Structures are given as structure tokens and as C-alpha cells.
Amino acid sequence: MTTKAAYIGGMTWGWTGIRGTWTGEKADRSMELMAERLSVNWTAIALGALQDHAHSTEIKFREAPTVTDEEVLSAIHKAKELGLNVCLKPVVNCADGTWRAHINFFDLDVPCEPKWSDWFASYTTFILHYARMAEETGCEMFCVGCEMVQTDRRETEWRELIAEVRKVYSGIVTYNCDKYQEGQIKWWDAVDVISSSGYYPIDAWEEQLNRIEKVVSEYDKPFFFMEAGCPSREGSQYIPNDWGLAGAPSEEVQRQFYETMFSHTDKRDWVGGFMLWDWPARLYEEADASANDDYCMYGKQAEQTVRQYYAAKIAESSDGGLGE
């Protein structure tokens, strides 16, 4: 039986992890401002590595544009210097722009066709590389995958991967499922914490929380939203996962989304917190905040909303970590 865990008041930092952007004065100042402005106690340090397309079986994580190991270590050390708990979050993307949720192969390995076995072999090498880094640097949490919808049905491979991760990493292990997919994962028992992407329409939170609560109850695991957020853009409150939605910049839309999301989740004691989306390593100028229509809330109305909410929730927590 799990006990009530300390609250995760977190923000995702650094996405997508473009080589050359994670070190230096601007990167350091970005993380300092994130900690200062949002009162966070956690950060997800998130980096993307590329495979050529959705049916490629090689993840080229050692190549540009992915950040170097030195940059990852620098970001982790900076977060630790600021007193933050760290979730290291390596993510695979497709170089041709296809969303990673569509990475997919035949259910059965077929000669002369790309295979699940080859892809998971490459993915395991990729993930274990960063799991070892997470262990060496004392990261409190490690995320083994993010929004890999078509892979989710490969239960055996995911269980094998997580078992391999546990051989080299001793901290908290989670998997970040995509929105609406919480009930589709059949291997939640293999991780320590259930997490998902909470990009739900502003008027649908009660319905979605009712649905997710059944999953959390079934597996009796801690839960938090590994991603959640809304662009500061007209219309985004109803489709917050669409980063390309056309609309005029609107700080009010973003603030209202956060206020609504927090008001609904605050009634559910099983929601253990958020790792909000997102805070880049290279910030725009604060004077330009009102014209920026992306997810980052630096200098926008939602910044104060998040800071006040996190400060209150973290104050209620008994410690800075998530445990069982």
C-alpha cells in the first residue's frame, strides 16, 4: 500500500535539448529564473534524440542536434545546485517531423521489414545510457519513455526494458503515457509511479480525472502529470496539446487554463503534482512575453498563478521527494 507522497511542483526544462544551448550564462540564467519565478521543487531535464522516421530502428542519440553528455551533466549539476529534485527524461523523436506516438512496426518480426526487436534493442541502448547517468548524478527520478502510443502494446519489451533499467538505476522509475492513454497501459505495475500528459480541454477535467482515478486505484501507485500546460494563445484552452494552433497571443487564456486545471486536480488527493510544460534553455526577453504564444509562462500572467499554487502545495508536503 502506498502512502501519501510529497507534492511534485515541477517544470520541464531544456526541451528539445539542442546541442550547444544547455551550457553557458543564458542556460544557467534560464534555470535560475525557473526556480525563482515558479517556486519549483522539481525539474524534468528533457532531451530529444532522433531516429530518421517512424519506421527506423536506429536512435542516433550520440549525434547532433542532441545535446552532449557534458551538457546533460551540466544541466543536472545546475539543478542540484539550485536545490531541485531531478527527473532525467530522454525522449525519442523522428527527424522527419512525425510525432513519436506513431513509431510502429508489424506485430510479428518479418524478414526484410523493420522490426520491433531491432528498434527495442536500439531504444534500450539509448535509455540505459541515460539511466546510468541518472544514477551517477543522483537524479531522483528517471523516465523510461514519453508518449510512445503505438509501442504501449508491446508489454513484454517494456517490462524487459524496465528490468534492465533497474540493474543500473536505483531511483524512482516512471513512464509518461500520452493523454487519454492511461487505461491502455497493461504494465503499470512494472514502474514506481504512473505519469501522463495532462493536455485536457479546460472544460473536460472532471470527466478525465474520473477516468484516470480508476486506473490509479487499480494499480495502487502514486500518480502525477509528467506533462501539462497550455500555450498563451486564443483557442488553446480547448486543445492545449496542439502547439501549431492558429490564434492570437493571449496571456489570459493560459492563466485561466492553469487556474481551472489546478482547481480540479486540487480536489483529488491522488494527483501527486505536475512537471509542467515547458521552460526552454534559451528564454525570450521578458519584455516580449505578451507577444509570445508558446507554452512557457515566463513573464506572463500564468507565472504568478503557478508560483502561488506551487508554493502553497509544497508547503503542505512533508519532504521534497516522491516515495512509497
Domain locations in the chain?
8-316
Contacts of 290 (CB under 8 A, 6+ apart): 249, 251, 299, 300
C-alpha 213: how far from its chain's center?
20
Contacts of 16 (CB under 8 A, 6+ apart): 46, 47, 48, 65, 91, 93
On the question of pLDDT at 323 being above 80, the answer is no
Residue-level pLDDT at 320: 45
pTM: 0.96
DSSP characters over 135-156: HHHT-SEEEEEES-GGGTT-HH
Q: What is the CA radius of gyration of the chain?
A: 19
Band (322; pLDDT cuts 50, 70, 90): low
On the question of pLDDT at 237 being above 60, the answer is yes
Mean pLDDT, residues 256-271: 98
Contacts of 7 (CB under 8 A, 6+ apart): 41, 272, 273, 313, 314, 316, 317
Determine the 3-state secondary structure of 176 from DSSP. strand
Band (317; pLDDT cuts 50, 70, 90): confident
pLDDT tens, position by position, 72-97: 999 999 999 999 999 999 999 999 99
On the question of pLDDT at 4 being above 60, the answer is no
pLDDT tens, position by position, 184-228: 999 999 999 999 999 999 999 999 999 999 999 999 999 999 999
pLDDT tens, position by position, 29-50: 999 999 999 999 999 999 999 9
CATH class assigned to 8-316? alpha beta
